[in-house]
Structure 1
Amino acid sequence: MGDVLIDFDVPGEMRDGTVLRADVFRPTRDGPWPVLLVRSPYGKQDPNIFRILEPLAAVRRGYMVVLQDTRGRSGSDGDWEPLTNERADGHDTVRWAAALPGSNGLVGMYGPSYLGNAQWMAAAGGPPELRAIVPGFTWSEPFDGLFGRGGAVELGLSASWSLSQGPDLLARRWKDSPADLHRELTALVSEIDALATRTYWELPSGAFPAFERAGVPDLGYQRALADPEAADDCRVAGTYDRVDVPVFNVGGWFDVFLQGTLDNHIAMSAAGRPSTLLIGPWSHQGQSGQQGEVNFGVAADQGSIDLRASLGDLRLDWLDRRLKPGRPAAPDGRPVRIFVTGVNRWRDEDAWPLARSVDTPMYLREDGGLSFEAPRAGKQPDTYRYDPADPVITLGGTLLMSSEFPPGPYDQRRVEERPDVLVYTGEPLEADLEVTGRVRVSLVTSSTAPSTDWVARLCDVGVDSVSRNLTDGILRVSGVPGEPAEHEIDLWSIGHVFLEGHRIRVQITSSNFPRWDRNLNTGEPAEAATVMSVADQTVFHDAVRASKIVLPVVPPEDLAR
């Protein structure tokens, strides 16, 4: 490549003496150049990195690009313990990268998910050479999307991710014994292949048997259940006062870390830090216009956002303005861009959440109704029986799991036919209704179990009667059996227009498995629970014990914006 020079496996020494290795891409022209740094546990030649921000394109635009294997992965030394060393190693790597031959001493970081958290951790360490980060699709609070949600274990993500990281670990462990390596890899792959049919179903979920059998560390939830302070190793929440660099947050409405991306932007803005936000109709591993059963259009694709620019170009434009001082550049424009589903168009905003959204309740009613009018009389509650041996199976949503469980919007009617799923549906809308912001459900319930779960899901029912999921949430509760109590379930956020003639629907149930682990209804902790009990569940919706969903409704005059 005549205009790009690549050095492979360049060593960098961390403060404890551990050597991490990186591939370094440099322009052949005279520098110096700003550095774009990626720190990844997936291998520095992982093709997914090249799809995020193509290194050759960045080099030709006047950057050095450094792709580094994190500690204990691929070409780097050390022991692999997910998410535990990224703050110190990130700080040290930024300083090392800034001093590489050809560097101008300014460093920016990019990458999604684990790579995004590695950026936040490095930034919290305060290396002076770090001038900008572009984290995408990453969390804020580990127990709100990474390790768990609402008190339940994020089992679908943790089990599939942890096992899928095993091959590199086993290759190191058995590097001198090909026969043993083949045997161990075969056993590991059998665990992965059986996730949907066997592995996910094993108990206890909080001390997952497959991890021990496969000899791989878990993503981190088991460590954090045993020692809550362990979550500090990857917690972004609470670090914003130490992150003194501009941030470009990228996320998707169907990403498992959607709310974390939004929360990171909200907190940085509140702290007076420069923060930009872009939310597309995307999932964690796919930023195309097709998500689940819905095609959001060519303009939704990351390669042609609003038919104006690719996501890679938008990132590089933003980085140019931070890492190339003195160079004329166009201003950032408005700090928030979201894709509004339903009408399927991009829109720029001054802030998130939208100040003009109005929290508007819709009440669960008798006979499966859902109304903007509160109930005025006592009505018989709805009941169902929750059996953890026969849970509601995950169908779409904001998730990252094994391939049998794709994310995104799917027809929910087969879920809604189950006797353990309560369905509440509004009347056909007389005009378009935009709901943009954070959604929550307030339920008054009782259970015969000392501990149980409540799951709520918001759906858009089209004129063809197809019910497609928009967002959902879970809450694990404990209480006195049979005693009513009010609970609030966080459904995270959406940006969606319910079209005229469509109906708003809410599902209430007690499981969404294997995305979230099953509550066995006994009150035992997830680390030990193996015995199941059936629970009789009651949902109240009378004048005194009203249950409702609260929607952030955008005034109708803003639909034309």
Structure 2
Amino acid sequence: MTAFGTAVEELATDVLLPEGDGPFPAVLVRTPYDRTRHRAEARGWARRGFAAVVQDVRGRFASPGEWHPYANEAADGAAAVRWIRRQSWSDGRLVAAGASYGAHCALALALDVPEDARPDAVLAAVPALGPAETAREASGVERLLSRAGWWAAHGDRPDSDEGALDEALAADPGLLAHLPLTGLPERLGRGLPSWAGLWRHHDRGHLIARAAHAAVPLLVVGGHHDHFTEDTVALWDAWGGPSARMLLGPWGHGLGSAPGPDAGPAHRMHLGELYVRWARRALAGELAPGHYGAQGLGGADLWLTAGTEGEPRTRRPRLLHGAAFTADPGRPVRSDDLSVPTDGPPDRCLLVTPPLPRPLDVVGPMSVQLRATAHTPSADWAARLVALTPQGAAERLAVGIVRRDERAGRETAFTVDLGRIALRLPAGTRLRLEIAGHHFPAHARNPHTGEDPVTADRLHISRRAIDPDSVVLTLPVLPSRPTPVDPAKEILR
């Protein structure tokens, strides 16, 4: 293998070539997380016959310029593709690959550049599709903790400090509770001019809308415990290219290196080897047309066909307490604590189902329907579903949150989407449903006045009431034991 550094349109770029005479197909990885951290990945591609090209995006690490997340990736990536195709070692074929923000870089090349600069295939893992998709839930509610952590680590700086937010929280545990949230940079002790502007993005769905016009094969990889599960599935479902493949495991944002508690031995996969095999088939035009893939069934140690979903089954949980409760932003329900206080006035509505009489395979999107009242003009409604295992443990299954702005004191019916699940629940499991006014610090606290939660400097208490007889939990239940599939065969068919 031959390695050398160069500059593509002045951006720092490393190229690692396979042994032997070229030309070779290429893999392009563009990253804001330091190209030198991808050396093992680049060696893996090169050992398997691909020219590996890894580039620091504009303004990050060794690349000059100013770092503006999501602003320059289509133009800079197009320049890199054109440069690669002019090299004597390139056979002209190219796969754009990346994870998280790097997946956005790869997708922008497939969807937002002229035809001569597009890759021949795109591999997108745990895709962070854009600023609005990463900063907000589909309902518009702000994802505070994850964005504060990312901006503290990577925002408005050429390098990264992965532990910046953790260190700041250790020094000031109430850091994210200070108001207004736009003042976070001062409390972190460094300039973050792009922080306030992040929250002005509401335009979700640009790349998903463009995906219908895609013209190249896609492999998208994600996890059921990742922030971006819904975006991963939506991208695969919308993709209009000649083939679309999806692998969705019981993993977090780190995929196989971050397995969930429900992952089993069958869910430990050599993803790098699978990526190479898919890339070879994609570049050779050997993939069958259409949408295929696999999703892991947590708690069951097997894989199902991608797109498998259960039949909607409703359950009416029994009220334990809190039909009337107070959403106090000074004492918000914590996203990082599954315990339920037993003293003081209720801070949430708490409901529970009877124990499951048999194991239940739940695969697909979940939701909660209810009728409720807020005595403030604006209110967030956070629904958290927790499994109470026969062994006495509490395990978080899903969270959904919506924002409702309407006349104070008016009862209204609405639905809270809980996201997607693929899990076998053992017999004896009870489902605990919590409905609260906050889910902090994962999400910003609503000031309850109609003001923007990011700029508000005062928070008000909100009295809530729920009709417990109206609460309906909808679960997608497989009617029979599923037929397992081989995920590699589904990806490579």
**Which stretch of structure 1 is more off in the superposition, 80-89 or 282-291?**
282-291
Partner of 2:104: 117
One of 540, 543, 559 as aligned partner of 2:467: 540
Give the whole-Å Cα distance in 1 for the aligned partners of 2:460 and 2:393: 34
CA contact (8 A) 1:207 1:526 kept: no
Is residue 263 of structure 2 the alignment partner of residue 296 of structure 1?
Answer: yes
| Residue identity in the other structure for 2:246 | L
The secondary structure found in structure 2 opposite 1:200 is: helix
Give the whole-Å Cα distance in 1 for the aligned partners of 2:135 and 2:123: 19
Partner of 1:549: 473
Task: Please list the CA deviations of residues 287-315 of structure 1 after superposition, one character each: whole Å capped at 9, or x if unmatched.
Answer: 24753xx36333323xxx2xxxx111111
* Superposed displacement of residue 146, structure 1: 3.6
TM-score by length of 1: 0.79
* Superposed displacement of residue 334, structure 1: 8.3
Query: For 1:330-369, what aligned pairs fall within 5 Å after superposition?
Result: 335-347=292-304, 349=305, 351-354=306-309, 357-367=310-320
Is residue 154 of structure 2 the alignment partner of residue 165 of structure 1?
Answer: yes
* Superposed displacement of residue 559, structure 1: 7.0
One of 281, 290, 315 as aligned partner of 1:321: 281
Closer, same or farther in 2 for the Cα pair 1:59/1:209, shift >3 Å? closer
Task: Please list the CA deviations of residues 24-75 of structure 1 after superposition, one character each: whole Å capped at 9, or x if unmatched.
Answer: 00123101100000000111102xx356xx2112111110000001011112
TM-score by length of 2: 0.89
CA contact (8 A) 2:379 2:446 kept: yes
* Superposed displacement of residue 558, structure 1: 3.4
Task: Please list the CA deviations of residues 168-214 of structure 1 after superposition, one character each: whole Å capped at 9, or x if unmatched.
Answer: 4379xxxxxxxxxxxxx9xx987651236133222223564448951
Closer, same or farther in 2 for the Cα pair 1:65/1:87, shift >3 Å? same
Query: For 1:423-434, what aligned pairs fall within 5 Å after superposition?
Result: 423-434=350-361
CA contact (8 A) 1:441 1:550 kept: yes
One of 247, 257, 266 as aligned partner of 1:278: 247
Closer, same or farther in 2 for the Cα pair 1:334/1:245, shift >3 Å? closer
Unaligned runs of 5+ in 2: 486-493
Closer, same or farther in 2 for the Cα pair 1:560/1:494, shift >3 Å? same
Partner of 1:11: 7
Unaligned runs of 5+ in 1: 14-18, 172-184, 369-380, 397-411
Query: For 1:83-122, what aligned pairs fall within 5 Å after superposition?
Result: 83-122=70-109
Partner of 2:490: none
Closer, same or farther in 2 for the Cα pair 1:251/1:480, shift >3 Å? same
Give the whole-Å Cα distance in 2 for the aligned partners of 1:296 and 1:315: 21
Partner of 1:58: 45
Give the whole-Å Cα distance in 2 for the aligned partners of 1:217 and 1:253: 33
Partner of 1:378: none
CA contact (8 A) 1:436 1:494 kept: yes
Partner of 2:221: 250
Partner of 1:405: none
* Superposed displacement of residue 415, structure 1: 6.8
CA RMSD, Structure 1 to Structure 2 (Å): 2.9
**Which stretch of structure 1 is more off in the superposition, 82-91 or 280-289?**
280-289
| Residue identity in the other structure for 1:6 | A
CA contact (8 A) 1:199 1:210 kept: no
Give the whole-Å Cα distance in 2 for the aligned partners of 1:518 and 1:263: 28
Give the whole-Å Cα distance in 1 for the aligned partners of 2:450 and 2:343: 28
| Residue identity in the other structure for 1:391 | P
* Superposed displacement of residue 107, structure 1: 0.7
| Residue identity in the other structure for 2:266 | A
The secondary structure found in structure 2 opposite 1:87 is: helix
One of 159, 169, 188 as aligned partner of 1:195: 169
* Superposed displacement of residue 100, structure 1: 2.2
Partner of 1:394: 335
| Residue identity in the other structure for 1:420 | D
Is residue 22 of structure 2 the alignment partner of residue 31 of structure 1?
Answer: yes
